[in-house]
Structures are given as structure tokens and as C-alpha cells.
């Protein structure tokens, strides 16, 4: 009888622990959500009610080395269509009038096809990691994000890549080391996709 009662208590504890773990997300996934208040206000103006889920550190983006942040938000039902994934990848760039917020298209086209690069990071429980937004020079000294790792420059960046310019790179698939990067240049003064690395089938 005591053994049966003990088994019941242990079982209930494990169920409760599992539910708590799912509610809070993986214990090793603690995304940075800290951005300056004026950046948060600019995001709110562009996406009313959106919740910042992930943010990069400050990044001196592109040829002009402009202050920038890469941000992932839950845009909420007011800001997305019938699809069930409300995630949006944003780049906030500082200009003379304040912060300009641009959205990076989720459906990315590259030489081997196209892919919704945020599709792996949302389920019925919400945002799931691990997830990273890196501020790096491309081609990078880190071989993980590189043409040698199946990556390719896109658009005007393929014609004249600046080997000293910084890019904001968003995780597209953590398992396969997939990335979508954005930057600015003289030819592309607003953030656009600059580099794509897709190894997943």
C-alpha cells in the first residue's frame, strides 16, 4: 500500500515537473530581450502589441556601420495573416530621425529553392530555441557561416561583397547550421537579405 502510494506521488511529481518545463521552455534557452527603450518604441509603432522574443547585441551594420539590432518578435494576431506562425525577423537601424524598423522576409529564395526560415521556431507552446542572432563579418573567420559551409551571398552583395562589413545573421535551422543574414550597403541602403546558408533538405 505504501509502495503504491509512493509510486503515485512520484508519478504526479514527474507529470507536474514535465508540464512546468514545457511552460517555461528549455532550461538552457534564455533569450536576450534587452533593447534600448527607443528601439522598443519603434518596434511597437511598426507592430502594435508585438512582443520582443529575442534581440542581438548592438551591431555596426554594413558599409556605413550604422547602429543596429536584430530582433525576433511575436507579432500577434493583429500583425499576421491566416498562418499560425506570428514570428517576424526585424532589423532596427538608427538614422537621423530615430530608428527605422525593417522586416526580413520569412520566405527566403536562394539558388536551391526557397524556405520559411522561422518555421522551425514556433509551435503550439510558442517560441522555441535554441536561437541566435549574430553580428559578424562575412566571409567570417568562423567557418560555421561561410561560402565554404554551403552559404551564398545574395543580390548586390554577391556582386561586390565587402569583407569588412558586418551582417546580422538569424538562425534558420539549429540542427543543420542554417542562417539568413541581413545587411545594408550603398546599393541597398535599407536592410535586405545579404547571405543565405541552407544545409537542410
Confidence check: pLDDT of 41 > 80: yes
Q: Which residue has the higher pLDDT, 104 or 28?
A: 104
Confidence check: pLDDT of 80 > 90: no
Residue 4: predicted pLDDT:
46
Distances (CA, A) of 170 to 8, 95, 96: 45, 22, 26
DSSP 32: -
Confidence check: pLDDT of 136 > 80: yes
Give the pTM.
0.81
Confidence check: pLDDT of 21 > 70: no
Output the average pLDDT for the chain. 82
Beta-sheet strands, E only, within 21-97? 51-55, 59-61, 66-74, 87-95
pLDDT in tens, 118-135: 999 998 888 998 899 999
Q: Which residue has the higher pLDDT, 39 or 23?
A: 39
Amino acid at each position: 500500500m505504501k509502495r503504491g502510494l509512493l509510486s503515485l506521488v512520484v508519478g504526479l511529481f514527474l507529470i507536474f515537473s514535465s508540464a512546468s518545463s514545457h511552460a517555461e521552455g528549455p532550461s538552457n534557452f534564455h533569450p536576450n530581450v534587452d533593447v534600448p527603450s527607443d528601439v522598443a518604441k519603434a518596434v511597437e509603432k511598426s507592430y502594435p502589441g508585438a512582443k520582443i522574443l529575442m534581440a542581438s547585441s548592438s551591431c555596426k551594420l554594413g558599409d556605413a556601420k550604422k547602429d543596429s539590432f536584430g530582433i525576433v518578435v511575436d507579432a500577434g494576431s493583429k500583425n499576421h495573416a491566416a498562418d499560425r506562425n506570428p514570428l517576424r525577423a526585424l532589423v532596427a537601424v538608427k538614422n537621423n530621425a530615430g530608428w527605422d524598423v525593417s522586416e526580413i522576409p520569412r520566405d527566403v529564395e536562394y539558388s536551391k529553392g526557397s524556405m520559411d526560415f522561422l518555421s522551425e521556431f514556433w509551435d503550439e507552446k510558442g517560441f522555441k530555441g535554441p536561437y541566435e542572432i549574430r553580428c559578424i563579418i562575412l566571409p567570417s573567420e568562423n567557418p560555421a557561416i561561410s561560402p565554404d559551409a554551403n552559404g551564398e551571398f545574395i543580390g548586390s552583395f554577391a556582386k561586390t561583397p565587402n569583407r569588412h562589413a558586418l551582417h546580422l545573421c538569424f538562425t534558420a535551422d539549429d540542427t543543420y547550421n542554417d542562417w539568413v543574414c541581413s545587411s545594408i550597403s550603398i546599393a541597398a541602403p535599407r536592410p535586405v537579405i545579404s547571405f543565405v546558408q541552407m544545409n537542410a533538405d
